[in-house]
Amino acid sequence: MLSLFTDQIRVELKTGIDIVDISDRINRLIGRAGIESGSVHATVIGSTGSVTTIEYERGVIEDLKRAINRIAPPDIPYEHEKAWHDGNGHSHVQAAMIGPSIVLQIRDARLQIGTWQQVVIINHDNRPRERKIDISIIGEKSE
């Protein structure tokens, strides 16, 4: 018998690129849902945020920021500016390329990620943002 549990995580992020670890918060949601085995589906609401996994270590987080700024540099011209003049053309492009959603697995009532792998939310916007992440947990409850 499968169950659905839904919630929304909200995180305050600084001016982009800012990256925060939400692994513990997802584990707490799994605990509240009482799901033993199944999947977590997470989607960032808003077009200048994204989600992925990475080792949450200061150096490699900086390296990821640099790589994201290579694929869509803040300091080149963007057509988006001609309509909006808000300076965040690169933010939209970066977020679309990293992507707004992720699927994670639950086994033994725990989020299954590597020891050096954390779930991170990225704010690409050129101003601080409270990012909202809608979460659906689907799976089997413990007996």
The closest alpha carbon to 139, from 28, 4, 8, belongs to: 4
Q: For tokens 């909200």, what's the residue? A: 10
Residues 134/26, Cβ–Cβ less than 8 Å: no
Give the range of 10-18, 23-31, 38-46 binding a second copy by CB under 8 A. 38-46
Sheet with 2-13: list strands edge to edge.
Answer: 2-13, 129-141, 35-45, 101-107, 110-111
Site for a second copy in 108-137 (CB under 8 A): 112-114, 116-118, 120, 134-136
The reply on whether position 95 binds a second copy by CB under 8 A is yes
- Contact set with a second copy (CB under 8 A): 2-4, 6, 37-39, 41-43, 45-47, 52-55, 57-60, 62-64, 67-68, 70-72, 78-84, 89-90, 92-93, 95-105, 107, 112-114, 116-118, 120, 134-136, 138-140
